[in-house]
Structure formats: structure tokens, C-alpha cells
Structure 1
Amino acid sequence: MCAALLRNSIKCFNLRINTRAVPRLNICTSAARCKWRSIGSADVERNLLRGDNLPDNYQLIYRAPMEEYVAWTKNVSTATVTLISLVAAYQLATTMSFMNIAKKIDIAVLVSNESDIYFFAAGFVLINLAIRAFVAKYPLRIYKSADKYVAVYGSQLPLGTTKHYFERGQISEYKNVLNPWRHIMFKLDNRSSMLMIDYFKTPAEFHQLFKESQD
């Protein structure tokens, strides 16, 4: 499910990024992906800045796609896990026969045994954990103020966001051969994050992340 969210967004990262060669990268961009930079985007940026409760001296430099889809997937998955877990817990704590209920509402085709509800619950819990791990590594926006940066992530709660502060130069590749998104994974200070270079305001903003902070 998480892979499907990224499938249509990642087109230009089939090679690993060498941070020493970052200034020479040929970064692809498109009008559709950069429409948030168009005329009138100043109002959008101000609204985002206000919504993220950041001072006016911060400037938006990165905005990831599919924010609403990520939030919707997380919340629907959580609601499904909660519902199935409550049914499984109620069946375990009482003498209720889940199969009788399933037959009455014509969903018996989905389960052939009462214990199937526990497998459903366990499976959805694992899916929900995977989605939440994705949310924790998927910065929605990045702002900067001089050499200071702040990345905004979706909250693990149904609504809201969380913030991660770091400084220029505190970025490195996140190397893990088992990670299917390793070509877009970076560590922002001590937090691993997915960065899609196309969605930076300008290519130079991405390059500047790797420069050492000026004291």
C-alpha cells in the first residue's frame, strides 16, 4: 500500500545519490509537480506556515505530494484495525458466535472459521504499523531560516503534525539494502526520511542541505 503511494511519484532516482556529487545531479522537474511554486503561491506558503505554527522568518523549500492521501490511508487503516480488534476482543471475552453474525449479514464467504477474525485483526495491525512507519519517515514540508531547518511530518494521531529540527549539513544517505526506498532515503540529523528531490522549491535548496553550517 505504501509502495503504491510512491509508485507514480518516483521517476528520476534509479541511481544512488553521491553526496559529493550532489551539485552535478541532473534533477528532473515538471510543471505539475511544481505548481505550488506558481504565481499566487505566496498566499499558500503563508497559510502553510501559519498552520504549522512557525515564525514568519521561516521559508518553505519542500512540499511533498499526496498529503491528503497519506492521511486518509492512515486514518482508514486505523479505523479498520480498531473495528476488527474490537470484534475479536468481544468474541474472545464473551460467548458470541462471530460465524452466526457473519452468516446473518452475508459475509461468511470472508471467513470459514471463528478463529479467522483473529488472523484478520493481526494482519490489519501489521499493515497499520507499516503505514505508520511510512508516515513517520515521510516529511510533508521542510522550512528553512538561515542555516536552521524544520521538517514537518504527519502525526500518528488522526489530526495534527510533528516537527523535527536540524541544521544545514546534518544530512546523509541512509544506507540499507533491505529498504525498497533506499535511493530516496536520507537521515536528517538522527531521523531517517524520504526526500523526493523533484519537490524542492529549487534544485539549489536540496544542494544547500549538504553544505556545512556557517558559524
Structure 2
Amino acid sequence: MSAALLRNTFKCINLRLNTTAFTKRNICTSPLRCKWRNTGSADVERTLLKRDNLPAHYQLIYRAPLEKYVTWTKNVSTFTVSVIALIAGYQLATSINFMNLVRKIDVGVLVSNEADLYFFAAGFVLINLAIRIFVFKYPLRIYKSGDKYVAVFGSQMPVGTVKHYFQRGQIAEYKNVLNPWSHVIFKLDKRSSMLMIDYFKTPSEFHEMFQERQT
């Protein structure tokens, strides 16, 4: 009887200790967000500050995921648009007809009619336009220094970034019934941007941007 009571007592103590440890544990909602908030995050932040050419007093508060995939997609977009533009420019600058060239190539495995290549080209242009709009609206990082914020976007060129400065309070939801992603689109001053709240350093950093600037 005494042994059974002791076993039950130890079980209750262990359960209480495990519950306390679980409630105090900092659980991240995203593995990628945990990755840049670990013990080496200070070194990562210094590296990103240097890469973005920002003063040391700025603090990283937001880092979007999939930066490498966005950059790779943008570079593929640049390549395809450049090839299409070169072919179109060559056709306009010379007397050679593009359709005469494709007739010499077996395109039966791709299209049933040579004229369909123009539809493929138009589709590529539309897809690349959508990619460019996404890059324009997708901030890679956001830094703050007091009431000042700077959002870093990928450049439309193959390399480089573009900075967009705004103040605290200069953010609002961008509501549009035609936009299926309206719940993640915000206006940073006059620039519409896609923000994912899970990738802010803390939830308070996101809500703090909406507060009116102190005078």
C-alpha cells in the first residue's frame, strides 16, 4: 500500500514538472522562423545588415521565407523575357521572318501549329509579369530604428535590393474583394506589400507598426 502511494506521488511530481517546463517553453509556429531566432541569430542579423548596407542601429524585426526560391524564380523570369525580347528584336531588325525559321525546326512535339508559338510567348510574358508583381510586393526583410522602418525588397534586376522607408503608423490593411490574398496585403506608406505575421520576430513588433508615431 505504501509503495503504491509513493509511486503515485512520484508520477504526480513528474507530471507537474513536465507541465511547467512545457508552458515555459518558447514554441515557434514556423521552423523557418525558429531558425533565424536561435542563438546564432545575432550573427545572422549583423550579416544581413551589412548585406543591405544599413547602419548598425537598425534592428531586424521581420524576415520572409523562401528568399532563395524567389531570387531563383526572378532570375529565370529575367532569362526567359530576355530571350523572347531578343528574338522579337531580331525579327524586327532583319527581314527574316520568325515563322520561316521555326518551320525549319521540328516543333510538332510541342505544338500542332507554328502560330501557337505566339500564344506560348504571350503566356510566358504574362507569367513573368505576375512574377515581377510578386517580387515588387514581397519584402524580404524589415528593420526598425525607433519610429523609423525600412523594408528591403528584391530588385527587378538579377542582383541587388530596393529599400522602402516608412514611419510608425504608416501601415494599413489593403482590402480589395478582387484580391484573394487581401488578408496578408498591407500598405506600407504608399507601397502595397505582402506580410506574413508568423515571420515577425515577435507578434508585438507587428502590432507596434500600427501605433501612431510619438511627437
TM-score tier, shorter chain, comes to 0.7 to 0.9
Q: 1:75 to 1:136 in 2, by over 3 A?
A: same
| 2:34 alignment partner AA | C
1:44 corresponds to? 44
Q: Is the 8 A contact 2:174 2:185 kept in 1?
A: yes
Indicate the RMSD between aligned Cα atoms, in angstroms. 1.7
Deviations 1:79-106 (A, max 9, x none): 1222234334445641452333431xxx
SS in structure 1 at match of 2:204:
helix
TM-fit CA distance, 1:152:
0.2
Question: Does residue 148 of structure 1 match 2:151?
Answer: no
| Structure with higher RCO (Cα < 8 A, 6+ apart) | 1
| 1:51 alignment partner AA | R
Deviations 1:54-109 (A, max 9, x none): 01110000000001101111111221222234334445641452333431xxx432
Cα distance in 2 for partners of 1:154, 1:32 equals 19
1:112 corresponds to? 112
Q: Is the 8 A contact 1:140 1:153 kept in 2?
A: yes
2:71 corresponds to? 71
Question: Does residue 133 of structure 1 match 2:133?
Answer: yes
Q: Which runs of 5+ in 1 are unaligned?
A: 1-27
Q: How does 1:9-20 map to 2 (within 5 A)?
A: none
SS in structure 2 at match of 1:56:
coil
Q: How does 1:82-121 map to 2 (within 5 A)?
A: 82-91=82-91, 93=94, 94-95=96-97, 97-103=100-106, 107-121=107-121
Q: Percent identity?
A: 72
**Under a length normalisation based on structure 1, what TM-score does the superposition of the two structures give?**
0.80
Q: How does 1:173-188 map to 2 (within 5 A)?
A: 173-188=173-188
Cα distance in 2 for partners of 1:124, 1:175 equals 29
Q: 1:132 to 1:95 in 2, by over 3 A?
A: closer
Q: Is the 8 A contact 1:155 1:162 kept in 2?
A: yes
The aligned length equals 185
Question: Does residue 168 of structure 1 match 2:172?
Answer: no
Cα distance in 1 for partners of 2:181, 2:51 equals 29
| Deviating 4+ runs (over 4 angstroms) | none
Cα distance in 2 for partners of 1:99, 1:162 equals 40
Q: Which runs of 5+ in 2 are unaligned?
A: 1-27
Cα distance in 2 for partners of 1:112, 1:32 equals 45
2:56 corresponds to? 56
**Under a length normalisation based on structure 2, what TM-score does the superposition of the two structures give?**
0.80
